[in-house]
């Protein structure tokens, strides 16, 4: 009987081990469950980073809130003429904010009775050479969006990967916002591009775009860097043409000596003239 009891005790001990093993297995199950959210998070990040190109949809919704320069230099890159102006006023304005991959959120505003346009020039390309262009035109008091390319001063309609377009017209003030996939051939190496804001005539009946007049043409900037310095080359060139001529000390000294000699000569002539009288 005692032996049998010992055997029972042994069996109980064995059962305890089994219980322990089950507990250990539960812990393993818990650890696996804990790892699942981490795996999900990694998958989410990967999906965000690998966001594909935008599907084109140029339907224009109502822009309920006026555009603002709030966030310029911190969350979005801004180009404006005059520099630092607010798009709700007398201002030509373009902003770009990286969304993911090659997708950006753009804001565009300027004064025009026809259209306003934003053009992007790729690294190593000349501005105006088949530049990707986004056009917001005033069509009888509402905004219509037109994708285009700018080549040698002429805009030719061409579909661009754009959606979520919103716009408003208030007198001559046109404002629009949109999301766009920037062609990787444009943003080669660190997304360096040249920016241009232009305006032009628009035929609401035919949809024809007049030749653009550039209001702002920037230096090459990193489109993904909100803090990049944007310079309007159109105005900086005109303000740097003033030439100031400074005479050297040697030249000034020579002029002083010539003036002194002339004064002495005239004084001598005057004295001789009085003596002859």
Burial 153-165 (b: 16+ CB within 10 A, else e): eebeeeebbbbeb
21 versus 227: the higher-pLDDT residue is: 227
The position carrying tokens 């377009």 is: 165
**Structure tokens belonging to residue 121:** 């020039």
State pLDDT tens for residues 153-181.
999 999 999 999 999 999 999 999 999 99
Average pLDDT (255-260) is 44
With CA atoms as reference, report the closest residue to 168 among 210, 108, 211, 209: 108
With CA atoms as reference, report the closest residue to 71 among 231, 230, 226: 226
CATH node for 60-235: 2.60.40
DSSP assignment of 124-186: TSPTTEEEEEEEEEEETTEEEEEEEEEETTEEEE---SEEEEEEEEETTEEEEEEEEE--TTT
State pLDDT tens for residues 40-82.
344 433 434 546 889 999 999 999 999 999 999 999 999 999 9
Q: Are 62 and 176 in contact (CB under 8 A)?
A: no
pLDDT for the residue numbered 175:
98
**Structure tokens belonging to residue 197:** 């804001």
pTM for the complete prediction?
0.67
Average predicted confidence (pLDDT) for the chain: 76
């Amino acid at each position: 009987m005692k032996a049998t009891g010992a055997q029972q005790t042994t069996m109980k001990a064995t059962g305890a081990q089994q219980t322990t093993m089950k507990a250990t297995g539960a812990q393993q199950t818990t650890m696996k469950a804990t790892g699942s959210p981490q795996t999900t998070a990694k998958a989410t990040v990967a999906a965000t980073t690998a966001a594909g190109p935008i599907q084109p949809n140029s339907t224009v919704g109502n822009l309920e809130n006026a555009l603002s320069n709030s966030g310029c230099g911190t969350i979005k890159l801004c180009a404006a003429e005059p520099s630092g102006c607010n798009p709700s006023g007398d201002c030509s304005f373009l902003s770009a904010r990286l969304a993911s991959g090659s997708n950006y959120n753009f804001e565009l505003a300027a004064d025009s009775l026809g259209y306003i346009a934003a053009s992007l020039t790729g690294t190593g390309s000349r501005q105006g050479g088949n530049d990707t262009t986004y056009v917001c035109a005033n069509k009888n008091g509402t905004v219509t969006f037109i994708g285009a390319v700018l080549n040698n001063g002429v805009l030719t309609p061409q579909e661009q990967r754009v959606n979520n377009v919103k716009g408003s017209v208030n007198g001559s003030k046109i404002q629009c916002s949109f999301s766009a996939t920037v062609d990787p051939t444009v943003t080669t190496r660190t997304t360096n591009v040249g920016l241009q804001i232009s305006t032009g005539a628009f035929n609401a009946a035919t949809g024809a775009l007049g030749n653009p007049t550039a209001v702002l043409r920037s230096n090459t900037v990193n489109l993904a860097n909100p803090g990049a310095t944007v310079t309007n080359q159109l105005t900086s060139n005109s303000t740097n043409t003033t030439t100031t001529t400074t005479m050297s000390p040697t030249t000034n000294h020579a002029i002083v000596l010539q003036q002194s000699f002339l004064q002495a000569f005239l004084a001598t002539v005057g004295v001789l003239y009085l003596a002859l009288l």
